Amino acid sequence: MTQIGKVILVLGVGLILVGAVVWVLGKLGFRGLPGDIRYESERVKFYFPLVTCLVISLVLSVGVWLVRSLGR
């Protein structure tokens, strides 16, 4: 049972850190990477962060790979 508590604690701290980074980037004016799809008209606003999603996926994949490699 203590193992589950540790996992939940680590996930919570990770979410806090990710939230803080996103909040700071928003305050600094970051609105996405070049290649993100943005469409705005009078009545419709559509934003799809295509390149941002690819970069996040790449970073997470490398992170998981490193954790698994170092864990052996």
Amino acid at 33: L
Cα angle vertex 34, ends 46, 59, to 5°? 100
In this model, does residue 37 exceed pLDDT 80?
yes
The count of structural domains within the chain is 2
What is the per-residue pLDDT for 61?
Answer: 95
How does 38-64 read in b/e, with b if 16+ C-beta sit within 10 Å? eeeeeeeeeeebeeeeeeeeeeeeeee
Q: pLDDT tens digits, residue range 47-57?
A: 998 998 999 89
Domain hosting 1: range is 1-30
Same-domain pairing of 36 and 53? yes
pTM: predicted TM-score of the whole model, two decimal places: 0.61
Same-domain pairing of 42 and 66? yes
Same-domain pairing of 15 and 49? no
